[in-house]
């Protein structure tokens, strides 16, 4: 480890571990950035009191895990991110699935009023461990964390179609690096060292990785790395930092994961199946639009070809002789092409409606 890395680790350590000695109420606060050896699941919870200044810092008990273990075991337990990029979309998704619960603000847990589900609000980095250890049954997190942590006993159940991003390899704009092979022997700064190492290994290129939590994009300017691998969505952070994307390591989105053993407990399996029907109903509805149109009877065969619907379109006669009303669903991703085709064969008065839920 060179002097620059040592400086970096020291800074990370200082930023990461803020220890308050507040008179009679000693309290340890862990930042929201993961640091090796940190048990951040207890952020903002008081730790066991230290007696005297010379007592070594004891590892805090995972109070949250202990509390979860004592929760209603007949309910399904779901871990979601508290106060991060995925939080609003996750809450929105759960509410669209018909679940009623308290807002996460200032809360660590919430019970659903209309479904046996306990929601646990945690840092996203802790979700793989919570699910893998069986502290919770299911979790919602970015697939990037799954790829990075590869937790045992965990399986992906659903892609949730939000939280889209990509782990992107980028280099300084003026760098001479044009292809990934040009990075051979160079240092890559990243919060995702496993993903990055795997990528280069698969491509048969030998690189060094340095793990940085937060502000990865400044690593080349500081001179600690020649390239970075970081999550991007709009790409504006790269541009602002004079970096240019070289290639994508993988795409990611929010996913629902479960502990392998959840389905082996009959009561939990039943609850999970019910929850999955709700989740899939919301996801299917997002993928389709409901369309109503008027059409002369003779174009019906063409309409059926363009919009086969889920099984077949619903057709009813209009008051006007020789005209029909046709109702069907069309896929969101081919929406405009389909509408253009419908118009070109003679459909008119096309009305498009969103679908709230769709149970297939």
d(CA 236, CA 230): 12
Q: Give me 168's structure tokens.
A: 């992107």
**Distance separating alpha carbons of residues 259 and 245, to the nearest angstrom:** 35
Q: Which of 139, 142, 151, 313 binds ligand PRT (CB under 6 A)?
A: 142
Q: Which does 165 bind (CB under 5 to 8 A by kind): ligand PRT, Zn ion, none?
A: ligand PRT
Cβ–Cβ under 8 Å, residues 284 and 277: no
Nearer Cβ to ligand PRT (228/258): 228
- Residue 54 CA: distances (Å) to CA of 13, 37, 50, 123: 20, 21, 9, 31
189 belongs to the binding site for ligand PRT (CB under 6 A): no
Q: Does 131 bind ligand PRT (CB under 6 A)?
A: no
Which residues on neighbouring strands pair with residue 39, listed in sequence order?
A: none
Crossing angle for the helix pair 266-287 and 87-96, to the nearest 10 degrees: 100
Span near ligand PRT by CB under 6 A; candidates 67-75, 130-138, 224-232, 266-274: 224-232
Instruction: State yes or no: residue 231 binds ligand PRT (CB under 6 A).
Output: yes
How far apart, in Å, do the first and last CA atoms of the chain sit?
Answer: 56
For ligand PRT, the nearest residue by Cβ is 142
Q: How far is the CB of 176 from ligand PRT (least distance, A)?
A: 24
Q: Which is nearer to Zn ion, 147 or 290 (CB)?
A: 147
Least distance between ligand PRT and beta carbon 351 (Å): 35
Question: In which order are the strands placed within the sheet that holds 165-172?
Answer: 208-211, 187-190, 227-232, 165-172, 243-252
Q: Please give the angle made by the CA atoms of 88, 124 and 165, to the nearest 5 degrees.
A: 70
Residue 129 lies near ligand PRT (rule: CB under 6 A):
no
Give the C-alpha separation, 242 to 117, whole Å. Answer: 46
Which partner in ligand PRT, Zn ion, none is near 233 (CB below 5 to 8 A by kind)? Answer: ligand PRT
Task: Tell whether residue 165 is a contact of ligand PRT (CB under 6 A).
Answer: yes
Q: Is 313 in the site for ligand PRT (CB under 6 A)?
A: no
Give the shortest CB-49-to-ligand PRT separation in angstroms: 26
Q: Tell whether residue 139 is a contact of ligand PRT (CB under 6 A).
A: no
Selection from 198, 192, 243 nearest residue 217 by Cα: 243
CB of 41 to Zn ion, least distance (A): 12
Instruction: Report whether 119 contacts 75 (CB < 8 A).
Output: no
Tell me which of Zn ion, ligand PRT, none is bound by residue 338, counting a contact when its beta carbon lies within the kind-specific cut-off of 5 to 8 angstroms.
Answer: none
Q: Does 58 bind ligand PRT (CB under 6 A)?
A: no
The minimum distance between CB 81 and ligand PRT, in angstroms, equals 5
Is the dihedral angle over the CA atoms 65, 67, 69, 72 positive or is it negative? negative
Q: Does 151 bind ligand PRT (CB under 6 A)?
A: no
Min. distance of Cβ 136 from Zn ion in angstroms? 17
- 64, 65, 77, 123: which one contacts ligand PRT (CB under 6 A)? 123
- Minimum Å gap between C-beta 145 and ligand PRT is 6
DSSP state of 60: P
Contact 329, 291 (CB under 8 A): yes
Q: Of Zn ion, ligand PRT, none, which one does residue 128 interact with (CB within 5 to 8 Å by kind)? A: none
Q: 89 CB contacts (<8 Å, ≥6 apart)?
A: 162, 163, 254
CB of 38 to ligand PRT, least distance (A): 11
Can you list the alpha helix ranges (DSSP code H) found in 17-62? none
Instruction: Map tokens 């697939």 to a residue.
Output: 143
Binding residues for ligand PRT restricted to 24-43, rule: CB under 6 A: 32
Residues that bind ligand PRT (CB under 6 A): 32, 81, 84-86, 123-125, 142, 144-145, 163, 165, 230-237, 252
């Amino acid at each position: 480890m060179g002097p620059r890395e040592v400086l970096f680790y020291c800074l990370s350590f200082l930023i990461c571990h803020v220890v308050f000695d507040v008179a009679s109420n000693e309290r340890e606060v862990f930042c929201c950035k993961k640091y090796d050896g940190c048990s951040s699941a207890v952020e903002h919870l008081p730790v066991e009191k230290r007696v005297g200044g010379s007592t070594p810092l004891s590892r805090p008990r995972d109070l949250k895990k202990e509390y979860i273990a004592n929760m209603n075991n007949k309910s399904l337990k779901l871990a979601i991110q508290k106060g991060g990029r995925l939080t609003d979309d996750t809450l929105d998704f759960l509410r669209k699935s018909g679940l009623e619960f308290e807002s996460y603000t200032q809360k660590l847990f919430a019970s659903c009023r209309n479904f046996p589900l306990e929601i646990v609000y945690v840092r996203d980095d802790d979700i793989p461990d919570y699910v893998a250890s069986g502290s919770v049954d299911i979790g919602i997190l970015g697939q990037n964390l799954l790829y990075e942590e590869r937790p045992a006993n965990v399986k992906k159940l659903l892609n949730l179609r939000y939280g889209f991003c990509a782990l992107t390899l980028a280099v300084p704009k003026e760098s001479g690096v044009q292809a990934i092979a040009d990075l051979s022997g160079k240092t890559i700064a990243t919060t995702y060292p496993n993903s990055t190492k795997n990528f280069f290994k698969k491509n048969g290129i030998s690189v060094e990785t340095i793990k940085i939590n937060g502000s990865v994009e400044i690593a080349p300017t500081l001179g600690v790395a020649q390239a970075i691998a970081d999550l991007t969505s709009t790409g504006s952070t790269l541009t602002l930092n004079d970096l240019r994307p070289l290639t994508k390591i993988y795409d990611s989105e929010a996913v629902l994961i479960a502990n392998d053993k959840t389905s082996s407990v009959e009561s939990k399996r039943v609850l999970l199946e019910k929850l999955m029907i709700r989740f899939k109903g919301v996801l299917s509805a997002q993928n389709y639009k409901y369309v109503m149109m008027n059409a002369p009877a003779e174009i019906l065969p063409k309409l059926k070809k363009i919009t086969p619907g889920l099984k077949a379109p619903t057709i009813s006669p209009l008051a006007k002789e020789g005209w029909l009303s046709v109702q069907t669903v069309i896929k969101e991703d081919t929406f405009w092409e389909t509408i253009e085709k419908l118009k070109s064969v003679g459909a008119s008065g096309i009305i498009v409606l969103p679908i709230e839920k769709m149970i297939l």
